[in-house]
Amino acid sequence: MSVVTKSPDRKVRRRGGAPERRRRKPGWWLPYALLGPAVLFEILVHLIPIVIGVWMSFIKLTKFFIANWGAAPFAGLANFRISLDFSGVLGKSLLNSFLITCAFTVLAVGLSWVLGMAAAVALQKAFKGRAIFRTLFLVPYALPVYTGVIAWKFMLQKDNGAINHLLVDNLHVLGDKPFWLLGDNTFVSIVIVAAWRLWPFAFLMLMAGLQSIPEDLYEAAAIDGAKPFRQWTNVTLPMLRSVNTVVLLVMFLWTFNDFNVPYVLFGTSEPAGGDLISFHIYNTSFLTWNFGLGSAMSVLLVVFLLIVTGAYLILTNRRARRA
């Protein structure tokens, strides 16, 4: 039981522990020195570029100025106005892409979580061959993104692809070979491909979480007459709450910002169903050399993610405290 009594919330524990340490005046600089390199690189590679990126969203940085962008005129909020003008073409398509991305994220993350959870539970108890499955399931996650996605692209071709061969020629589920890399079906394709890549991560984290749930909790539940499903809802889920909080947030951020999967899958033309937002911004602004506009769209995306993440953290913290 000793593991269980550990508070699941790191912050709470740290807050309790920290004041006990005496502040040693002579060594006050040590933590700063330790952080030094990390801070340096973060500033260089993340913070300054982000600040410049935000600044770019306020200037008129089109192809007429990129060679000398000190001369680019200040655009005020014009870039943002264009992005948010949902009656104009650019705003409308941005909104459309945003909604597709929301649906995509919910489905891809949801599916990944369900698959990951199913696999983690199926492999919770020891049996012969467990290690083989565990190893196999981790392969999609270990593969470099582009190789896995390229393989899917090859499989999703209409005429010569393995998927249509399987569905139409082998299983006869569908009459005509549908397009998977064109039109509305691309939504299905991209959800499947993203989930294929992502679910092993959910599996990995949840499996790790399951290992820290003591066996006797299940035994106690079994003695109370709880069936496996009840055991899952009454023991597993509550014990995994903090893991889930982290896993879902991380997967949400990765998936919402995903650029690689649509880029490798669709190249430089965005199909109706696979028009994810990072990819959309890249195509509508960076590809046409309007960096100011592209930056404004990216900034709006960040603002949205900040709000969602903030709300999510506040919500889960509150619930954790109440529990």
Partner 1 sequence: MKTSKTLVGIAAAVALTLTTAACGNGGSDNASSNGDSKTLTYWASNQGTSIQNDKDVLKPELKKFEKKTGIKVNLEVIGWNDLQTRIQTAITSGQAPDVVNIGNTWAASLQATGAFLPFDSANMKAIGGKDKFVETALKTGGAPGKTYTSVPLYGLAYGLYYNKKMFADAGLKPPTSWQELVTDAKKLTNPKKDVHGLALAAGSYTENAHFAFINAAQDGGGWFDSKGQPTFTKAGNISGIKRYLDLMQTDKVAPTSNAQYDNGTKSVNDFANGKAAMVINQNNADNSIRSQGMKPNEYGVVPFPAPTGGQPVASHVAGINLSVFKNTDNKAGALKFVKFMTSKDVQKTLDKPYSALPVLKDGKVTFTSKAKEAKTFQKIYNTMSKPLPLVANEDQFESTVGKAMNKMFAQIATGKSITKSDIKQALSTAQQQVAASSAG
Partner 2 sequence: MRETKPEKLFRVIVLVVLSLFTILPLYVMITSSIKPLGDVQSAFQWIPKHLTIQPFIQMWSTVPLASYFVNSIIVSAAATLFSVAIAIFAAFAVSRYKFFGRNVFTTTVLSTQMFPGILFLLPLFLIFVNIDRSLGVQLVGTRIGLIITYLTFSLPFSIWMLVGYFDGIPRELDEAAKVDGSSPLGALFRVVLPAAKPGLTAVAIYSFMTSWGEVLFASVMTTDANRTLAVGLQLYSTQTNVYWNQIMAASLIVSIPVVVGFLVLQRSFVAGLTAGAVK
Residues in contact with partner 1 by CB under 8 A are: 43, 47-48, 50-52, 55, 60, 62-64, 66-70, 75, 78-79, 82, 88-90, 157-159, 178-179, 181-185, 267-272, 283-285, 287-293, 296, 306-307, 310, 313-314, 317
110 binds, among partner 2, partner 1, none (CB under 5 to 8 A by kind): none
CA distances from 42 to 19, 38, 238 (A): 28, 6, 36
- Smallest distance, partner 1 to C-beta of residue 76, A: 11
Give exposure, 214-245, as e/b (b: 16+ Cβ within 10 Å).
eeebbeebeeeebeeeebbeebbeebbeebbb
- Smallest distance, partner 2 to C-beta of residue 144, A: 4
CA-to-CA distance for 220 and 314, rounded, in angstroms?
A: 33
- Smallest distance, partner 1 to C-beta of residue 238, A: 23
Place of tokens 């491909």: 193
SS3 of 74, please? Answer: strand
226 binds, among partner 1, partner 2, none (CB under 5 to 8 A by kind): none
Residue 197 buriedness (CB in 10 A; 0-12 / 13-18 / 19+) = buried
Whichever of 182 and 210 has its CB closer to partner 2, that residue is 210
106 binds, among partner 2, partner 1, none (CB under 5 to 8 A by kind): none
Whichever of 21 and 87 has its CB closer to partner 2, that residue is 21
Q: What are phi and psi of 74, to 5 degrees?
A: -65, 135
Candidates 216, 214, 206, 205; CA nearest to 3 is: 214
- Smallest distance, partner 2 to C-beta of residue 236, A: 13
Residues 6+ apart with CB under 8 A from 60: 72, 73, 74, 75, 78, 79, 292
- Smallest distance, partner 2 to C-beta of residue 161, A: 6
Nearest 10 degrees: CA dihedral of 241, 247, 253, 256?
-100
- Smallest distance, partner 1 to C-beta of residue 83, A: 9
Whichever of 118 and 249 has its CB closer to partner 1, that residue is 249
- Smallest distance, partner 2 to C-beta of residue 137, A: 6
Q: What are phi and psi of 24, to 5 degrees?
A: -95, 105
- Smallest distance, partner 1 to C-beta of residue 7, A: 18
278 binds, among partner 1, partner 2, none (CB under 5 to 8 A by kind): partner 2
Residues 6+ apart with CB under 8 A from 286: 294
Whichever of 46 and 230 has its CB closer to partner 1, that residue is 46
Place of tokens 């005129």: 73
Whichever of 78 and 222 has its CB closer to partner 2, that residue is 222
Candidates 119, 84, 29, 13; CA nearest to 297 is: 84
Whichever of 87 and 263 has its CB closer to partner 2, that residue is 263
Tokens of 18: 């920290």
CA-to-CA distance for 253 and 234, rounded, in angstroms?
A: 29
37 binds, among partner 2, partner 1, none (CB under 5 to 8 A by kind): partner 2
28 binds, among partner 2, partner 1, none (CB under 5 to 8 A by kind): partner 2
Whichever of 137 and 266 has its CB closer to partner 1, that residue is 266
305 binds, among partner 2, partner 1, none (CB under 5 to 8 A by kind): partner 2
Whichever of 237 and 306 has its CB closer to partner 2, that residue is 306
